[in-house]
Amino acid sequence: MTKLTRRLAAAWLLVALLVVVGAGQLAPHSYDRIFSESPDAQPSKDHLLGTDAVSRDRFSRLIHGTRISLGFAPLGAFLATLVAGCIGALSGLSKPWVDRTLMFSCELFISLPWMFLLISARSLMPLNTTPVASVAITFLLLGLLGWAGPARIVRARTREWLNSDQYLFARSLGISRRRAFLIHLPPVLKPVLLAQFWIAIPVFILGEANLSLVGLGVSDPLPSWGALLRDMNRPEALLETPWIITPLLVLVATLIAVQTVLRTTRSQT
Amino acid sequence: MNSAKTPVLDTCLSVSYHNGKQVLSDVRLSIGHGEILGLVGESGSGKSTLALALFNLLDRSRARVTGQIQLNGRDLLNLPEKQMRRVRGSEIALVLQSAGTALNPVLRVGAHLKEAWLAHSNDASKWKQAAASLLERVCLPCDEEFFRRYPSQISVGQAQRLLIAMALLHRPSLLVADEPTSALDAITHAEILALIRELNRDLGLSVLLISHDLLSAASLCSRLAILREGQIVESGAPHRIFAAPEHPYTQRLIAALPPHPLAATLTPEVPIAA
């Protein structure tokens, strides 16, 4: 991987971060403002990416959608990592039957078809859910369903630590089991949890996009990358208005940038 | 209870795993006040199992420990975990083979010493005061710059000294040193052995030195016990064991010692009798 690629990826993520922080200032219009005189307008000086079928500025919606998709994915990833950390560590430290039960539930979660589960869970929510609540529910679901894989890794690291000289030496000094778990174990798990957190972010971005694409994610009028991709559901629309592919390009570019940065960080550690 | 005649450690210990494997059979050890006992044996002879058994740190779901472990006249084997925790670190302490694996790489030197201090004290403010004299004794710096370092930022010798300082922070009467020099280079090896000798002499510390290195153990210990397949096959003063080893295994151990590199040039060539 060239230095230029890494720099481009980092720069792209920096711009994305700026968009997340300053979407309100960067977007020329509000995401739900309707320009009734120009539905399905072509790109122009006023509307850089034209307008959608209900006359909203596509560029402004892309900016606000980026804020929601990129801003909430880390929150979902944080939640998943937190749950994974608690369950994984508990499993690693517990008696064999608790460990077996927790790991069985982990395997059950991993073997379940994620997308189907998300769609089922999301479709159980009332139809009149407010847009803001829909964002919270979507990422909460992603967070709650994404813990199983990381939990197994946390559990393995916890077991490894329990059998290590570090734990043995701490116990030989008279340090209690509880203090060792509370003070000595968390710093040992920190690198594992951080790695799981960063890996979960792109997964959750895609998860949200998939859910919103089938209309079960962030609900209208709030935009998200998945919701914006719904405009591409007619192949002929792509030929007539090719600029509507922009959200997909932004999504793919961001995922590649995240993977590039993660790979660079991993190879350096 | 703690009279000079009562040995610091007196054991008669058997350990078997639940799969039926007998790891230690009736291991009798007795260490007096201020004595250094060397337990020598090959890998897999049960040396480390013995060390863990002394601290009640063997996994009881997998291992069965029977017999007795008398520390200063008190039986440790049947002590409830809460009381045993108070004994560990304050009456009996352990130093492991590799400081690199025994120290938590994400905790700073200062945090390690503080944790060791807090194991038996509620006064967090006094850990530096308590550690100062001991750090000086083990030839480690006692300043903020050193306390801020991570284990990876100190030398192997310093890390081993830090282990010893942590182990002795609460002035235990017995130090169990499980292969404390195996992972060290020759010079650091000699320095650590000299340090253990000094601590034994100056603090009156009793030491159980567990090692596979017969020569090192003999140079440091007043008595040696040879462990083979979980049994003590021979014990006695080092000079007696070297002069007249009784058990065939001890004879093999001594025969296996490398010759001095200058031996060939120093001794006249003698034709080998047919």
Instruction: Encode pLDDT of A10-42 as tens digits.
Output: 899 899 888 888 877 887 888 878 877 777 777
Which residues of chain A make contact with B104, given a CB cutoff of 8 A?
A: 166, 170, 184, 187-188
The predicted pLDDT at position A44 comes to 81
DSSP letter for A181, please. Answer: I
Measured between alpha carbons, how far is A256 from A268 in angstroms, rounded to an integer? 18
Closest in B52, B97, B116 to A173, CB measured: B116
Helix (H, G, I), strand (E, B) or coil at B68: strand
Instruction: Mark out the alpha helices in B66-155 (DSSP H runs).
Output: 81-87, 99-102, 109-118, 127-137, 144-147
Q: All domains of chain B, ordered by start, with CATH?
A: 9-253 (3.40.50.300)
Give rounded-to-5 percent helix, strand, coil for chain B: 40, 25, 40
Higher pLDDT, B266 or A38: A38
Which residues of chain B make contact with A168, given a CB cutoff of 8 A?
A: 52, 57, 94, 96, 102
CA dihedral B150, B151, B155, B161 (to 10 degrees): 120
For residues A227-247, give the mean pLDDT: 79
The predicted pLDDT at position B274 comes to 39
Asked if the model's pLDDT at residue A89 lies above 90, the reply is: yes
Asked if the model's pLDDT at residue B149 lies above 50, the reply is: yes
For residues A204-230, give the mean pLDDT: 77
Superfamily of domain A3-37+60-268: MetI-like (1.10.3720.10)
Which residues of chain B make contact with A192, given a CB cutoff of 8 A?
A: none
Tokens standing for residue B103: 């120290």
Instruction: Mark out the alpha helices in chain A (DSSP H runs).
Output: 3-26, 58-93, 96-111, 114-123, 131-145, 148-162, 165-172, 177-179, 185-213, 225-229, 235-240, 246-268
Which residues of chain A make contact with B170, given a CB cutoff of 8 A?
A: 174
Least confident of A205-214, B125-134, B210-219: A205-214
* Beta pairing, strands B206-211 & B174-178: parallel
With an 8 Å Cβ cutoff, the interface of chain B facing chain A consists of 52, 55, 57, 61, 85-90, 93-94, 96-98, 101-104, 106-107, 115-116, 118-120, 163, 166-167, 169-170
Closest in A166, A168, A175 to B119, CB measured: A175
Contact B177, B47 (CB under 8 A): no
Least Cα separation, residue A263 to chain B (angstroms): 23
Contact B130, B210 (CB under 8 A): no
**Residue-wise pLDDT tens digits, B57-67:** 988 778 899 99
* Confidence class for position B119, pLDDT limits 50, 70, 90: very high
Distance of CA A237 to the CA centre of its chain: 28
User: For an interface test with A, which of B106, B112, B120 has the most A Cβ atoms less than 10 Å from its Cβ?
Assistant: B106
Measured between alpha carbons, how far is B73 from B79 in angstroms, rounded to an integer? 13
**Residues paired with B64 in a beta bridge:** B16
Least Cα separation, residue B116 to chain A (angstroms): 6
Distance of CA A265 to the CA centre of its chain: 19
Nearest by Cα to A255 from A204, A211, A215, A194? A204
* Confidence class for position B273, pLDDT limits 50, 70, 90: very low
Closest in B55, B93, B104 to A188, CB measured: B104
Which residues of chain A make contact with B85, given a CB cutoff of 8 A?
A: 174, 176
The number of C-alpha atoms within 13 Å of B125 and in the hemisphere containing its C-beta is: 0
The predicted pLDDT at position B27 comes to 92
For residues A85-106, give the mean pLDDT: 92
Is pTM, for the whole model, over 0.95?
no
Measured between alpha carbons, how far is B24 from B245 in angstroms, rounded to an integer? 22
Q: Concatenated DSSP letters for B211-246?
A: ES-HHHHHHH-SEEEEEETTEEEEEE-HHHHHHS--
Least Cα separation, residue B52 to chain A (angstroms): 9
